[in-house]
Structure 1
Amino acid sequence: MAVTKKNPELDHYFKEPNDWLKEAKKLRNIILDCGLSEELKWRQPCYSHDDKNIVIIQSFKKYLALMFFKGSLLKDSKQVLHDIGANSRVGRQLRFTSETEVEKLKPVIKSYIKEAIKISEAGLKVAPPSEQLDLPEELLNAFKKDKAFKKAFEGLTPGRQRGYQIHFSSAKQVKTREARIEKCKPQILKGKGLQDR
């Protein structure tokens, strides 16, 4: 694979002092050596192939992560990938706490990126969950009052629907669930997910 040039728009990210600057710089060089394009998305360095996201560098308090957008489809023969949360089915992370770890996993990183590119090129997708969403009563009531709202919600991707379902259902009180639904309604009517801007 051809080495991709660094995107000067991201230089500031790799110059700002933070806990994982050295690790991030090393990771950046490894990723670019795999021929991916570099841009800033979600305020993080994101790397793509043929305009499809492959990996993103994420800084956390306890570690630096390289998140594979379709990580659950990787074979993970080295058993180094981590789930990114109870409600995420697709993304997986490699986590680092030192430059030495990044360097040690360099062959694995490159191998996994190559596999992720092949997955992307093949158009593989994670199958949506077969279980029916358990929508809160307050949301079902809102649907009865507003058919356009119901149609807009049903038109969202399964992942976006699930995001809203988790957000609404996690509130313990009825009034809080109703307030969250009302607050998110304009976003849903625009066809956007909870995290979309």
Structure 2
Amino acid sequence: MKTLVAVDQYIANSVEFAIPILEHLRDLVHRADARIEERMKWSMPFFEYKGTVCHMAAFKNHCVFGFWKGSLIEDELGIFKERSEAMGLLGKIKSFDDLPEDDILIAYIQQATQLNEDGIKLPSKIKANPKELTVPQYFIDALQEDSKALAVFQNFSNSNKKDYVLWFEEAKTEATRQRRLETAIEWIADGKTRMWKYIKK
């Protein structure tokens, strides 16, 4: 099992209820395929084999587990709460009762690993309509943690939304991206656009 000290620390520093859940999810990932390696990206644990397979995170009141290529996985048993390419596929995990059976989740992880093994890529996010904006899933997840910020962002114009998305994508490091994400949530909750400092009053 190829573990990472940084992931050990992430789990240990999580809220108490989340620790056994994260440890269990981590164990299932490595039971599914011993070749999977751990990484820390965007301040959360990722699991990789020939590309990203899945990842997990803990918040104040719940955990999440997602598959990077979730939209390509055949959800024959209907365990996905939301169709997504990233986090939250299993919905908000507050206890072990919110998880599918171990064998089922292992099978899904193996399916996700096989997609990478076969070199299958996600469809291009370039839209036919250039005005349509793709908001990164990590940003959506952060907004969903703050209902006020989410409501404000939904009412932003397309250009105001784009300003924030580009700000994240231009970050040179994951640490910078995370700092910008936290700042953005505070600003948006206050009704501020990305360029609010430059708006003439």
Same fold (TM over 0.5): yes
Q: 1:90 aligns with which of 63, 85, 89?
A: 85
SS in 2 for 1:54: strand
In the alignment, which residue of structure 1 is the partner of 2:156? 171
- Return the TM-score normalized by structure 2: 0.61
The corresponding residue for 1:38 is: 38
- Indicate how the Cα distance of structure 1 residues 61 and 83 shifts in structure 2: closer, same or farther if over 3 A, else same: farther
Q: Are positions 1:22 and 2:20 aligned together? A: yes
Taking the aligned partners of 2:3 and 2:161, their CA distance within structure 1 comes to: 47
Unaligned stretches of 5+ residues in structure 2: 141-152, 181-201
Q: Deviations over 1:20-53 (max 9, x none)?
A: 1111111111112222111211111110013x11
Structure 1 length-normalised TM: 0.62
In the alignment, structure 1 residue 47 sits paired with structure 2 residue 47: yes
Corresponding residue of 2:134: 162
Deviation at 1:179, TM superposition (A): 11
Deviating beyond 3 angstroms after TM superposition, the runs of 4 or more aligned structure 1 residues are 128-131, 176-181
Count of aligned pairs: 154
User: Cα–Cα, structure 1 residues 178 and 71, in superposed 2: closer, same or farther, change >3 Å?
Assistant: closer
Cα distance change, pair 91–77 in 1 and its aligned pair in 2 (3 A): same
Alpha-carbon distance, 1:128 to partner? 3.4
- From 119, 129, 133, the equivalent of 2:130 is 133
**Structure in which a larger fraction of residues adopt strand:** 1
Distance 1:119 1:180 in 2: 33
User: Contact (CA 8 Å) 1:133, 1:162: kept in 2 or not?
Assistant: no
Question: How far apart, CA to CA, are the structure 2 residues paired with 1:123 and 1:5?
Answer: 22
Q: CA–CA distance in 2 between the matches of 1:31 and 1:117?
A: 10
- d(CA) in 1 for partners of 2:162 and 2:52? 34
Partner of 2:70: 71
Q: List gaps (5 residues or longer) in structure 1.
A: 136-160
In 1, Cα distance between equivalents of 2:43 and 2:129: 34
Cα RMSD of the aligned pairs, angstroms, is 3.8
